[in-house]
């Protein structure tokens, strides 16, 4: 009998929901009308499901008044505000495709996304972190048919919508199908322009529902969302996970600030908190952390990038999040493909990213041959099922490169599937360091250095070397008041791992270059190292 292959299917006793986002929203409102739906602390807004429904209804009719047809692209360019889920749900009801735009975009990025998606109506904030959105739009050269700024212009559009009969909106909703595209989300790329992952109502609604179910959500839950709405983390795990379970969304601010997130949890008695590892690290290191009463917390989601074991343990113990889930996914899979379960052994919950999500198939493939590898062997993680995107907007070649003939989405992540189906992410195909012909996985060294008492955070990259091809480089953030030298870092590693994995270079930094969602941009770190260390010639050396 041959070895067991790295294939798993997420069994589920609950069927997929065959609803559009709009129909699921109306069902939630009917059941939870008097319960809190949305609290935006920085705006002083507190809405029940019934009150939020009235806002969504007006906004959906306003989109119709603006001439939005089924399948038209409606752009939304704003940091986290209460209007974000209003427009998200309104666009779904009106049959529009929401183009969610990174609030940190500059003119060039904005212009590309608007033109590539064919956005006809743009709803936007006045600005964010010193950037004047109106000026950036003019500089971008993009010309949507209509632009509406949140504030008086938005209120004027809502007033136009009041003249659209409710029957017109009901007629539009009756035309919609669960497989209609609902969102275009531009993925962060390391080079060139991003690609627009196109997600359907079916993709997003079911992923949000099953994430919430895995977290044990119900109407009593209050979810603190310092993660951005423009990304799946906020839009799906936030809005749709809450809506499908009658939970409340709590927004601490326009963007992540550790103190504001902790204050929101305490003031609103939040039961769940979301974040990428860098956010949780910042909260744990916040000078006033010990003053906050976080005992209302029981669960949450940590994901977006590899989660250091020591950080997970501190989140469980110091933040009272005993049932925190580690989730793995990507925008192209709506986003979650694996999730840890509260009933799994603790060791698996803090060392792995869980098992296959309900109704999702996983396999680990040899990157060279495409064949499924035996369990316990590393390879590229591939995903198939309802959650796989419709494709990249207006980019069939890129879609074919990402999704093969068998409808498997190739993630580009290196993974190992254990005998029981639990998955570990061990690195990126492109992040793997090859030093002198030996593979070095940054995750292993990052986990080791996180255990050092003086280290608050660390990221490991490969930098070019004329002799070995690549050398290992560690960027280290120290805890407040801690002191450490490069040699002490190397000694710590040399006592615990093989010599080729010990960092040749160490740089002490205050933080890492991040995307707006908090993901570390390792390609920028590599570029910086090449420049600072004068490695341009080594970087230009051809390799096989």
Here the CATH number for the domain that contains residue 364 is 2.30.38.10
| In-domain check, residue 280 | no
Q: Which are the contacts of 185, defined by CB distance < 8 A and separation ≥ 6? A: 100, 196, 197, 199, 230, 231, 232, 235, 331
| In-domain check, residue 299 | no
Strand partners, 326: 302
Note whether 365 and 476 are same-domain residues.
Answer: no
Residue 73: its pLDDT value, please? 98
Note whether 29 and 118 are same-domain residues.
Answer: yes
Share of the chain above pLDDT 90, in %: 78
| In-domain check, residue 254 | no
How many domains does the chain divide into? 3
Note whether 155 and 126 are same-domain residues.
Answer: yes
CA 524, CA 540: separation in Å to the nearest integer?
17
Say whether pLDDT at 452 is over 60.
Answer: yes
**Which pTM was predicted?**
0.85
Note whether 525 and 379 are same-domain residues.
Answer: no
Q: Are 527 and 536 in contact (CB under 8 A)?
A: no
Note whether 407 and 522 are same-domain residues.
Answer: no
Residue 430: its pLDDT value, please? 73
Residue 343: its pLDDT value, please? 84
Note whether 416 and 443 are same-domain residues.
Answer: no
Note whether 111 and 71 are same-domain residues.
Answer: yes
Q: Which are the contacts of 435, defined by CB distance < 8 A and separation ≥ 6? A: 462, 465, 468, 469, 470, 471, 472, 500
pLDDT tens per residue, range 87-131 = 999 999 999 999 999 898 888 889 999 999 999 999 999 999 889
**Number of Cα atoms under 13 Å in the Cβ half of residue 496:** 15
Last residue of a domain, one of 429, 453, 481: 429
| In-domain check, residue 144 | yes
Note whether 471 and 362 are same-domain residues.
Answer: no
Which long-range contacts link 525-529 to residues 24+ away (Cβ below 8 Å)? 525/459, 525/461, 525/473, 525/475, 526/461, 526/462, 526/463, 529/461, 529/463, 529/473, 529/505
Note whether 383 and 482 are same-domain residues.
Answer: no
Say whether pLDDT at 428 is over 90.
Answer: no
Residue 365: its pLDDT value, please? 97
What CATH number did the domain enclosing 465 receive?
3.30.300.30
DSSP code of 403?
A: B
Q: Which are the contacts of 359, defined by CB distance < 8 A and separation ≥ 6? A: 10, 12, 16, 206, 210, 385, 386, 387
Last residue of a domain, one of 168, 186, 203: 203
CA 24, CA 207: separation in Å to the nearest integer?
13
pLDDT tens per residue, range 248-294 = 999 999 999 999 999 999 999 999 999 988 899 899 999 999 999 99
| In-domain check, residue 320 | no
Share of the chain above pLDDT 70, in %: 97
Residue 450: its pLDDT value, please? 92
**Number of Cα atoms under 13 Å in the Cβ half of residue 345:** 6
Q: Are 382 and 408 in contact (CB under 8 A)?
A: yes
Give the mean model confidence (pLDDT) for residues 189-211: 86
| In-domain check, residue 517 | yes
Give the mean model confidence (pLDDT) for residues 328-345: 93
What CATH number did the domain enclosing 112 receive?
3.40.50.12780
Residue 394: its pLDDT value, please? 97
Q: Are 328 and 360 in contact (CB under 8 A)?
A: no
Q: Which domain holds residue 458?
A: 433-539
Say whether pLDDT at 544 is over 80.
Answer: no
| In-domain check, residue 217 | no
Last residue of a domain, one of 172, 203, 234: 203
Note whether 479 and 493 are same-domain residues.
Answer: yes
Say whether pLDDT at 401 is over 90.
Answer: yes
CA 262, CA 252: separation in Å to the nearest integer?
9
Q: Are 241 and 229 in contact (CB under 8 A)?
A: no
Confidence of residue 208 (pLDDT cuts 50, 70, 90): very high
Residue 520: its pLDDT value, please? 86
Note whether 502 and 456 are same-domain residues.
Answer: yes
| In-domain check, residue 154 | yes
Please return the burial class of 397, using the count of CB atoms within 10 Å of its CB with bins 0-12, 13-18 and 19+: exposed
Q: Are 383 and 340 in contact (CB under 8 A)?
A: no
Confidence of residue 189 (pLDDT cuts 50, 70, 90): very low
Residue 432: its pLDDT value, please? 76
Note whether 58 and 190 are same-domain residues.
Answer: yes
Cα 84-33-273 angle, rounded to 5 deg:
50
């Amino acid at each position: 009998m041959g070895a067991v292959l790295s294939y798993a299917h997420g069994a589920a006793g609950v069927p997929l929901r065959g609803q559009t986002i709009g129909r699921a929203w109306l069902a939630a409102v009917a059941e939870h009308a008097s319960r809190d739906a949305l609290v935006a602390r920085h705006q002083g807004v507190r809405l029940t499901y019934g009150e939020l429904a009235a806002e969504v209804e007006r906004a959906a009719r306003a989109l119709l008044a603006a001439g939005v047809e089924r399948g038209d692209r409606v752009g939304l360019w704003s940091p986290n505000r209460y209007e974000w889920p209003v427009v998200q749900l309104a666009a779904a009801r009106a049959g529009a495709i929401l183009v969610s735009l990174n609030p940190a975009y500059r003119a060039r990025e904005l212009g590309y996304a608007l033109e590539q998606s064919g956005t006809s109506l743009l709803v936007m904030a006045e600005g964010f972190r010193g950037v004047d959105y109106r000026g950036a739009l003019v500089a971008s050269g993009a010309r949507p048919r209509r632009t509406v700024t949140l504030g008086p212009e938005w209120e004027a559009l809502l007033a136009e919508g009041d003249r659209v009969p409710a029957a017109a909106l009901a007629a539009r909703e009756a035309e919609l199908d669960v497989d209609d595209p609902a969102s275009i989300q531009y993925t962060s790329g390391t080079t060139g322009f991003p690609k627009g992952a196109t997600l359907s109502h079916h993709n997003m609604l079911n992923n949000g529902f099953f994430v919430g179910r895995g977290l044990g959500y119900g109407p009593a839950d209050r979810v603190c969302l310092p993660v951005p709405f423009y990304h799946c983390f906020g839009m799906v795990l936030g809005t749709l996970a809450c809506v499908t379970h009658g939970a409340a969304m709590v927004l601490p601010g326009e963007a992540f600030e550790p103190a504001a997130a902790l204050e929101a949890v305490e003031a609103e008695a939040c039961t769940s908190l979301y974040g990428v590892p860098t956010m949780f690290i910042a909260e744990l290191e916040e000078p006033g952390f010990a003053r906050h009463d976080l005992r209302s917390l029981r669960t949450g989601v940590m994901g977006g990038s590899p989660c250091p074991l020591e950080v997970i343990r501190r989140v469980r113990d110091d933040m009272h999040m005993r049932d925190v889930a580690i989730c793995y996914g990507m925008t192209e899979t709506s986003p979650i493909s694996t999730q840890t379960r509260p009933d799994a052994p603790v060791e698996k919950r803090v060392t792995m990213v869980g098992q296959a999500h309900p109704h999702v198939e996983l396999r680990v493939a040899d990157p060279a041959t495409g064949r499924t590898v035996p369990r316990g062997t590393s390879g590229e993680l591939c995903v198939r099922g309802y959650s796989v995107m419709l494709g990249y907007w207006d980019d069939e070649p890129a879609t074919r490169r990402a999704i093969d003939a068998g409808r498997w989405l190739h993630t580009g992540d290196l993974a190992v599937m254990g005998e029981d189906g639990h998955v570990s992410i061990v690195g990126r195909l492109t992040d793997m360091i090859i030093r002198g012909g030996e593979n070095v996985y940054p995750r292993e060294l990052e986990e080791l250095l996180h255990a050092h008492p003086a280290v608050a955070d660390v990221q490991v990259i490969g930098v070019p070397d004329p002799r070995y091809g690549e050398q290992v480089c560690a960027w280290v953030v120290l805890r407040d008041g801690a002191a450490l030298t490069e040699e002490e870092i190397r000694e710590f590693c040399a006592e615990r791992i093989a010599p080729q994995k010990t960092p040749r270079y160490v740089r002490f930094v205050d933080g890492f270059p991040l995307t707006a969602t908090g993901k570390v941009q390792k390609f920028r770190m590599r570029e910086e190292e090449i420049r600072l260390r004068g490695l341009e010639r080594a970087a230009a050396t051809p390799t096989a």
